[in-house]
């Protein structure tokens, strides 16, 4: 889908953010976000200091701007045991190398919105997280009034797991934040109390069904059938074979 605000059909390409992007990166952040980021943050992004990033550029952009940023995403790796979502993960806590990828910022210039660029950038981060065997999830915060972003993350199968009261302080006013998580490499949320009860009930039902089936099978074996022989008009002892299927207990998986 092409934004009608564009005067040409864009050719979008993606690459790592580099030092030459510093000025444009700072400008776009200033235009898009109500939060002001320190100069150190931008220096770390463009120089790859503990931050991974991708840039979106329009190769068909006129006036020599074919390599200028029109979108971006930044993220960093954090240890799972040191993150704020430790209680939202089910993993082996004895393994100290378990990690997460935290999305710091993502944005697209207004003229290039609704072209699928933000989705493509987020998929870059998910693919990156999948390439790290120890990574268990990608997570991020989004301000509670940013409906387009909330819709996008839900569409991309992120799970909204928590609402944080007063997380953001902007111009002296507090705003809530939603915490979104995308589980990767076998990572998943721990079972809630309701899920545990549901699992126990399901297991008990399966067990009861299995026991009942075995009892019926045993009773059928004890009672002989005495059908009448058509040729001799006498009674003969016959054993009736019946095939009775037993119920199988299904494993419960938390999603």
* Sheet of strand 173-183: strand arrangement: 12-15, 52-58, 69-79, 99-108, 135-143, 173-183, 159-170
Q: Which residues, including other chains, have CB under 8 Å from residue 161's CB and lie 6 or more apart? A: 85, 88, 179, 180, 181, 189
Better pLDDT: 242 or 108? 108
Partners of 160 in beta bridges: 180
The model's pTM is 0.71
pLDDT band at 233; cut points 50, 70, 90: very low
| CB distance 111 to 157 below 8 Å | no
Exposure string (b/e) for 133-172, b if CB count within 10 Å is 16 or more? eebbbbbbbbbbeeeebbebbeeeebbeebeeeebeeeee
Instruction: Give the residue carrying structure tokens 């059928």.
Output: 220
Using alpha carbons, list the distances in angstroms from residue 241 to 23, 226, 234, 244: 83, 14, 21, 10
| Residue 85 pLDDT grade (very low, low, confident, very high; cuts 50, 70, 90) | confident
pLDDT at 239 over 60: no
Residue carrying structure tokens 């009861």: 208
What is the pLDDT at residue 4? 58
Q: pLDDT confidence of 99, banded at 50, 70, 90?
A: very high
For 185, residues 6+ apart whose C-beta sits below 8 A from its C-beta are 129, 130, 132, 133, 134, 135, 136
């Amino acid at each position: 889908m092409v934004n009608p605000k564009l005067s040409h059909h864009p050719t979008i390409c993606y690459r790592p953010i580099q030092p030459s992007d510093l000025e444009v990166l700072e400008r776009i952040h200033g235009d898009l976000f109500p939060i002001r980021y320190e100069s150190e943050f931008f220096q770390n992004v463009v120089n790859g200091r503990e931050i991974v990033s991708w840039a979106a550029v329009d190769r068909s952009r006129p006036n020599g701007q074919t390599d200028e940023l029109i979108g971006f995403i930044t993220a960093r790796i954090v240890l799972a045991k040191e993150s704020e979502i430790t209680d939202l993960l089910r993993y082996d806590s004895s393994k100290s190398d378990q990690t997460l990828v935290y999305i710091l910022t993502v944005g697209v210039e207004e003229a290039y919105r609704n072209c699928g660029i933000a989705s493509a950038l987020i998929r870059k981060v998910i693919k990156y997280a999948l390439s790290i065997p120890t990574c268990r999830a990608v997570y991020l915060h989004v301000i509670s009034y940013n409906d387009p972003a909330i819709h996008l993350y839900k569409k991309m199968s992120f799970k909204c797991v928590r609402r944080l009261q007063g997380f953001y302080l902007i111009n002296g006013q507090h705003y809530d934040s939603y915490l979104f998580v995308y589980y990767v490499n076998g990572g998943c949320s721990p079972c809630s109390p309701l899920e545990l009860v549901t699992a126990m009930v399901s297991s008990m039902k399966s067990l009861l069904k299995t026991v009942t089936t075995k009892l019926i099978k045993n009773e059928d074996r004890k009672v002989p059938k005495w059908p009448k022989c058509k040729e001799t008009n006498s009674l003969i002892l016959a054993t009736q074979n019946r095939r009775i299927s037993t119920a199988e207990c299904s494993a419960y998986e938390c999603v």
